Amino acid sequence: MNALRDQIHAVMGRSPGVDAIRMRASVDAILAQADNADTQARERMIASVSQVDVPVDDFVPMSMALAWVEAPAGSAMTSMAKQLVAERGAAPLDDRGTILRWVDRVDHSVDGGTVHTVQPTYLIRVPHAPDTALMIRTTILDGGNGEHAAANDIQAMTLLSDGIVATFRWRNDG
């Protein structure tokens, strides 16, 4: 997390109109919350992916987290998927309908302000396990305290996330 924190701080320092001191404190608080959440949910969390040791000009302020999701007891993942379609506007990412996608905008209140994120999230059912799915959540830093990144930057990072997830396939070991 420290490498990610350093990269985000460097990017913020180069962004016009960003109150870097307040944003740094906000980002530090969110990353601390993420560290805590990761510790609490470690059994379900599979992996997290973010850039490290990347020049500031090449850094993309987004990360991805992968976790197993279990359907509520007595139901199948299809019920959960129907609920996501109805309540979150989820829709298939791919033509075969194997990847369900929705996007949330989440504001994180931290000491000294608010950090804005965009979170494309994907649900991929596990073959032969009707009550289990893989969830991939991308978190894109969208600014803070009412300041937002350019819409075309957010769109480009969202498309990058979609492209990465669209390549996902289950391996057949049989």
Give per-residue pLDDT as tens, 17-51: 555 555 555 566 556 555 544 433 335 888 888 88
Question: What is the pLDDT at residue 40?
Answer: 37
Residue 33 — left, alpha, or beta (φ > 0 → left; ψ -120 to 50 → alpha)? alpha
**91 touches 85 (CB < 8 A):** yes
Q: How many residues does the chain have?
A: 174
Cα–Cα distance measured from residue 99 to residue 92, given in angstroms and rounded to the nearest whole number: 6
| pLDDT value of position 24 | 58
Please give the pLDDT value at position 14. Answer: 58
The three state secondary structure string of 7-28 is: HHHHHHHCCCCCCHHHHHHHHH
Tally of CB atoms within 10 A around 55: 8
Residue 160, H or E segment = helix 151-166
Sequence-separated (6 or more) residues with CB below 8 Å from residue 63:
4, 48, 49, 50, 138, 139
Report residues of the chain scoring pLDDT below 70.
1-43, 173-174
- Its pTM stands at 0.76
Q: If you ran DSSP here, which 8-state letter would residue 75 be given? A: -
User: Which residue has tokens 């199948």?
Assistant: 76
The pLDDT, as a whole number, for residue 119 is 95
